[in-house]
Structure 1
Amino acid sequence: MSYSPTLAAALSGATLRQLAHWRKASSRHGAVLVPELSEVRPILYSFRDVVALRTCVKLRQDASLQRIRRALDTLRDGLREREHLSAYRLAADGGSIYLVEPEQATDLVHRTANIVIHEMVDVLRPFYRDGRHIPDLLQPREHVTVDPAVRGGVPVIEGTRIPYDEVAALLRDGVPAERISDYYPGVTASAARDAADFADYVDSYEPSREPRAAAAG
């Protein structure tokens, strides 16, 4: 399963402008995250990419983009860590960024190994960014779930393999939520409304709805 930039943005909390900016290396540092499925049009992100993007969004709330790039350079080049970014637990604390391991947290900005006290937040859980509620990655709505083992991670109606956008499309075509079960037996009216609500949320990440002056950081 692959995620379009719009769906990857909606599930991670990043803006489309940030995704584009993070795909590119700067004059001094490497790219933040290059999609592992396709970095050329059509650009396609993986489920692991979305998890990593959520980490980057949370780091960006407490650290500058330059500092994040420097930390990732240290992780990849200094420590020779070559796993996908989603495999690492990273945290921003006290002006630096740390690779968090069971016994220590390595300072990736100043390149020292220090034990630090900090609160680790599960990157899959909901959070707020610039006043916007970023939903739980695995359950973005009560009746909408994301499971990499089901349709490769495309959001579906809970307990089914029915993509959320197929249900949302019926509602947008005028089918009442109570009649969705005529088309998809087992999909309740509440589940249909959740699918439509999540579809509206994803659509809010379309370029035309993003503030033109939004910073790319």
Structure 2
Amino acid sequence: MAYDPKLVAALSGATLRQLAHWRKTGASQGAVLMPEISGTRPVLYSFRDVVALWTCVSLRDDAFLQKIRRALDTLREDLKESDHLSSCTLVADGSIIYLTAPDQAVDLVRTKGNVVIHEMADVLRPFYRDGRHIPDLLQPREHVAVDPAIRGGVPVIEGTRVPYDEVAALLRDGIPPERISDYYPSVTASAARDAADFADYIDSYDPRRREPRWASAG
């Protein structure tokens, strides 16, 4: 599954401007994250990229980007961490960013490389960023799920392989939620509404945002 920047922004909480900025490298600092699939147009991210970006955005609640970059530099240069950033669990606590493990954590900023005891944190939990509610990455809506083992990670109606956007497109074309089961028997009206709501949320990251039309259907 290849994720375009708009879907990545909706799932991770990053803005399109941030994604573009974080792909850049400079003389004194490397990119926060370069997409695994394509760093040039069309820019395409992997599911691992989305998880890594979620981590970076969630860290911004407690740390400036400069500090996050410093932590990433410590990971890559001092600790020689070569795995994808998505494999690392990073948490911020005041002035410190930790690389955490089940029984310990490594200070990546203040005293680089020092092992400290720190409680594990779930970096995939919902959070707020700039007034937006960024949903649970793996369960962005009650009836919408993201699983890299199903359709490569494209969001689907939970318990099915039906992509959310195919259901949302039907509602936008005027099909009432209660009639979606005529097209997809496994999709309930509630699930259809969730798919449409999630599609509207993703479109909110597009400057050409469209108003939801499904709500007035039938």
With structure 1 as the length reference, what TM-score do the two structures score?
0.91
**Counterpart in the other structure of 2:107:** 107
The Cα shift of 1:113 comes to: 0.2
- Partners of 1:180 and 1:189 within 8 A in 2: yes
The Cα shift of 1:102 comes to: 3.8
**Counterpart in the other structure of 1:215:** none
- Partners of 1:16 and 1:207 within 8 A in 2: no
With structure 2 as the length reference, what TM-score do the two structures score?
0.90
- Partners of 1:104 and 1:113 within 8 A in 2: no
The Cα shift of 1:101 comes to: 2.7
For 2:107 and 2:207, how far apart are their aligned partners in 1?
36
The structure showing larger relative contact order (alpha-carbon pairs under 8 Å, at least 6 residues apart) is 1
Segments of structure 2 that go 5 or more residues without pairing to the other structure are 210-218
User: Do residues 55 (structure 1) and 61 (structure 2) align?
Assistant: no
More deviation, 94-103/178-187? 94-103
AA matched with 1:115:
V
For 1:191 and 1:123, how far apart are their aligned partners in 2?
26
More deviation, 180-189/193-202? 180-189
Secondary structure at 1:207 match in 2: coil
The superposition leaves residues 148-201 of structure 1 with CA deviations (integer Å, 9 ceiling, x where unpaired) of 111000001111111101110111111111111111112111111111000000
For 1:42 and 1:133, how far apart are their aligned partners in 2?
27
For 1:19 and 1:85, how far apart are their aligned partners in 2?
15
Alignment of 1:46-85 (within 5 A): 46-85=46-85
The Cα shift of 1:112 comes to: 4.0
The Cα shift of 1:109 comes to: 1.8
The superposition leaves residues 111-153 of structure 1 with CA deviations (integer Å, 9 ceiling, x where unpaired) of 2404154x54311221111221111111111111111111000
- Partners of 2:63 and 2:94 within 8 A in 1: no
**Counterpart in the other structure of 1:181:** 181
Segments of structure 1 that go 5 or more residues without pairing to the other structure are 210-217
The Cα shift of 1:72 comes to: 0.6
The superposition leaves residues 55-77 of structure 1 with CA deviations (integer Å, 9 ceiling, x where unpaired) of 00011111111111111111001
Secondary structure at 1:139 match in 2: coil
User: Do residues 148 (structure 1) and 174 (structure 2) align?
Assistant: no
User: Do residues 193 (structure 1) and 193 (structure 2) align?
Assistant: yes
- When residues 138 and 108 of structure 1 are mapped into structure 2, their CA distance, relative to the original with a 3 A threshold, is same
The Cα shift of 1:208 comes to: 4.3
